[in-house]
Structure formats: structure tokens, C-alpha cells
Amino acid sequence: MDENATFGKETVLWEGYAARSQFIWLYLVVAMMMIRVAVLVRSAMSGWGGWLVGAITLLGTAATLRRWGRYVVTSRRVVLRNGWTGHDIQSIDYPEIRKVSVKQGLLDDLMGIGTVVIQSRQDDMVIHFRGVLDAEEVKQRIQAALVRRPA
């Protein structure tokens, strides 16, 4: 992440993806499936191949989901981009931002992740940066950018 990178005519102040720990539940399911594979192989029973394919598929799904949403804070706006195509999914310009907050459940707090919620002045527009490491720091960066934005 280069803090001086440009995003069109905008300077990128922060960018990131969902943390790997956001998908911990998928990794736990994969671990249970791999235990099942090991038990089936060890006992010379059939069916382990299907479980192995399923585990690999879930790992691929976790990797795909993690890179699906790219979170970007620029000098002018907050953007949720598709990490695979590069197209903007949602964006809110700084003058339109009403509130920036962090939501964190108990497990999120234990894993050090959270959801940064950016609400626009229009109540129907909300961007969620889910599974962000150091969500409070990201919130502070957005708030600092709001204060120093050009007139």
C-alpha cells in the first residue's frame, strides 16, 4: 500500500481488503473437512476424494471473497471497488459523508477486526468496510481526511 499512490486525480490515503481472519469460520470448516479426509484415508475407506475437493473449493472461495471488495480512501472520497474488475461498487464524496463509525462484535474484537460504516447524508447510502484490521485507525484516517479536504 503506497500512501502517495494516485487514484485518477485523487491521492490514495489508505486502501485494503478484508482481513483473513474475517473468514475464520471457513478455515475452521476446511480444517474439519481435512480431519475427515485423514480419517477416511487412514481407515482405507472410500469417499475421501470428495471431501478433499470440497475443502479445496472452500479455500478458493475464501480467497475469492477476501479480494472481492477493495476498500479505498482517497483525498476526495471513500470507495468500495470490486477487487477483481476494478469497477466502483459504491462511493461517497466527502461533502456527502454524515457519519463514520466502527461496529465490532465480541469475536471481531478478539481477532482485531471490525466493520467501518460510512453513512452519507442520504439515509439510503451506506458503505461497509467489513473485516478491516485496525478499524478504529481507518475511521480516524477518514475523519482526518474529512477535516483537511479541499474547499
Is residue 2 over pLDDT 70?
no
For each of the domains in the chain, give its residue range(s) and CATH number, in order of start.
6-19+72-80+93-148 (2.30.29.30)
Cβ proximity of 81 and 89 under 8 Å: yes
The string of pLDDT tens digits covering residues 19-51 is 988 888 889 999 999 999 999 999 999 999 999
User: Could you tell me the pLDDT band of residue 149, with boundaries at 50, 70 and 90?
Assistant: low
Mean pLDDT computed over 14-18: 92
Q: State the pLDDT at residue 63.
A: 85
Report the distance separating Cα 138 and Cα 116, nearest Å: 7
User: Could you tell me the pLDDT band of residue 62, with boundaries at 50, 70 and 90?
Assistant: confident
Mean pLDDT computed over 96-108: 92
Report the distance separating Cα 54 and Cα 49, nearest Å: 9
Buried/exposed code over 66-75 (b: 16+ C-beta within 10 A; e: otherwise): beebbbbbbb
CA distances from 20 to 23, 108, 135, 147 (A): 6, 12, 14, 31
User: Could you tell me the pLDDT band of residue 150, with boundaries at 50, 70 and 90?
Assistant: low
- Weakest-pLDDT range from 97-101, 109-113, 116-120, 134-138: 109-113
* Mean pLDDT, the chain, integer: 89
List Cβ neighbours of 108 (8 Å cut-off, separation of 6 or more). Answer: 114, 115
